[in-house]
Amino acid sequence: RKEVEQDPGPFNVPEGATVAFNCTYSNSASQSFFWYRQDCRKEPKLLMSVYSSGNEDGRFTAQLNRASQYISLLIRDSKLSDSATYLCVVNVMDSSYKLIFGSGTRLLVRP
Amino acid sequence: EAGVTQFPSHSVIEKGQTVTLRCDPISGHDNLYWYRRVMGKEIKFLLHFVKESKQDESGMPNNRFLAERTGGTYSTLKVQPAELEDSGVYFCASSQDLTDGYTFGSGTRLTVV
C-alpha cells in the first residue's frame, strides 16, 4: 500500500466548474501537509499548505482531517490554466523530515 | 531571490558511465534534499543534508550513488556506474525550516542508454 494515495484521474472538467481532489495518507507520524502543482515536464511547485482548520487561497480551499488521515483540495471556478497534476504531499518525521509524495491527480480544464 | 538551480537540465549517458548532477539551493537554506522520479512512479526521497552533514540518506538506492555538500552550499549527486534503471528526473529542493514546504529546482532529466 502506498503511503499517500490519490486518484490518478484524469479529471476532465469545463471552465468554471468546481472540482475536488482527495488524498489519504497512512503514516501517523505525518507532521505537515501540502498540495503541490506540477505542470508537464516541470518541477513541483507549492500550491498551499493544509491545516486542520481548513484554509483558503483565492479559488483554492484545502482541508485536513487528521483522525481520518484524509486531505482534500477544492478548486472553484476552474480556469484553463489550472490544468496540471496536483500532488498530495505529507512531511513525515522518521530519521529526519522528508516529503512523501502521492502519484498525483491530473486535471484537464476544457474551454 | 534566486531559486534552486540544477545543472545540467538534461543528460544522456551510456550504461556504465559516470554522471554528476549539481544543485545550488536558495541562499541561506540549510536544508537540501534530493528526490527522484522514475517513469510511471511517484517522486521519491533520496537524501537530506543539513548544511554539509548528511541527515538522512535512507532513500539512496545503492552505493552507486554518492552525494556531497562540501562547505554546506551547493551539492552534487554522482552516479557511478550508471545503470538503465537510474533513468528519471532528479529534483533538488531546499528549505529553511524542516516542516515548511520546499522549493524545488527544475530537475535534471537523466537518460541512461
Q: What is the pLDDT of residues B50-60, one digit of tens each?
A: 999 999 999 99
Closest among B51, B53, B39 to B95, alpha carbons compared: B51
Residue B100 has pLDDT above 80, yes or no: no
Give the mutation candidate from A96, A101, A106 for the B interface (greatest B CB count, under 10 A): A96
Which value, to the nearest 10 degrees, does the dihedral of the CA atoms of residues A24, A27, A31, A35 take? -30
3-state SS assignment for residue A103: coil
CA distance B26 to B49: 14
- Cβ pair B90, B36 in contact under 8 A: yes
Neighbours of B82 (CB within 10 A): 23
Average pLDDT of the residues in A38-65: 94
Band (A108; pLDDT cuts 50, 70, 90): very high
From chain A, the residues in CB contact with B42 under 8 A are 2, 4, 101-104
- Residue A18 is placed in which grid cell? 468546481
Q: Is B101 on the interface with A (CB under 8 A)?
A: yes
